[in-house]
């Protein structure tokens, strides 16, 4: 009888362990191993409030349901921005059919020169699905502060030939608009695609 009780205890313990593991699996709690820095819980970007390249006001709520990749740059940037945008274009190619679940957003740090028309032509030259965001200096200031993104005007040869210093990281937000990953601007398209796939 004691042998039966022992076997019964083992069976009950195994059943309980299986129930717990099944419950955890049902919660959808999978371990994520990002190539970039995990910024989950920082709430970065919550105050994004800009104008898109078609002239419409945009907030993060407009991109809910898609993984958003946000980059701060400007159209007259000589090297960093075109390189970054080309990398994001390659990322979309690597994602294949999943690319339709991703929205790349380039926030202009040079709203004085980057009108919606100028910005639209620039971002869509890299990928037709890319969206450029511009706005007033106040809108840019609020949005950049929300992402803790640095930018500053740097003097040029004339008043109109200035440059813009800016951070070159990519912010990846999940389908609920929560900031999840901060990726260095020199990260490969393969690694960016890997981090995006984990959020799809």
| Binding-site residue set | 77, 81, 166
Phi-psi region of 106 (alpha: psi -120 to 50; beta: other; left: phi over 0): beta
Cα 109 from Cα 164, distance rounded (Å): 7
Q: What sign results for the dihedral spanned by CA atoms 156, 161, 162, 166?
A: negative
> What Rg value do the Cα atoms of the chain yield, rounded?
22
Q: Contacts for 148-155 with beta carbons within 8 Å, 24 or more apart?
A: 148/44, 149/72, 149/107, 151/72, 151/109
DSSP state of 101: G
Given a contact cutoff of 8 angstroms between Cβ atoms, the answer to whether 35 and 194 are in contact is: yes
Given a contact cutoff of 8 angstroms between Cβ atoms, the answer to whether 81 and 182 are in contact is: no
Cα 69 from Cα 84, distance rounded (Å): 12
| Binding positions for Cu cation | 77, 81, 166
């Amino acid at each position: 009888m004691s042998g039966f009780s022992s076997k019964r205890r083992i069976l009950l313990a195994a059943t309980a362990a299986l129930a717990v593991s099944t419950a955890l699996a049902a919660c959808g709690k999978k371990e994520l191993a990002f190539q970039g820095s995990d910024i989950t819980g920082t709430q970065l970007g919550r105050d994004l409030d800009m104008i898109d390249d078609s002239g419409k006001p945009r907030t993060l709520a407009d991109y809910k349901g898609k993984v958003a990749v946000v980059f701060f740059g400007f159209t007259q940037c000589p090297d960093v921005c075109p390189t970054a945008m080309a990398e994001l274009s390659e990322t979309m190619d690597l994602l294949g059919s999943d690319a339709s679940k991703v929205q790349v957003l380039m926030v202009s740090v040079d709203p004085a020169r980057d009108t919606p028309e100028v910005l639209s032509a620039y971002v869509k030259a890299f990928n037709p699905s890319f969206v450029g965001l511009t706005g007033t200096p106040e809108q840019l200031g609020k949005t950049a502060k929300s992402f803790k993104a640095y930018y500053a005007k740097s003097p040029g040869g004339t008043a109109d030939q200035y440059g813009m210093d800016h951070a070159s990281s990519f912010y990846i937000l999940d389908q609920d608009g929560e900031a999840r990953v901060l990726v260095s601007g020199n990260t490969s398209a393969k690694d960016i695609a890997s981090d995006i796939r984990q959020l799809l």
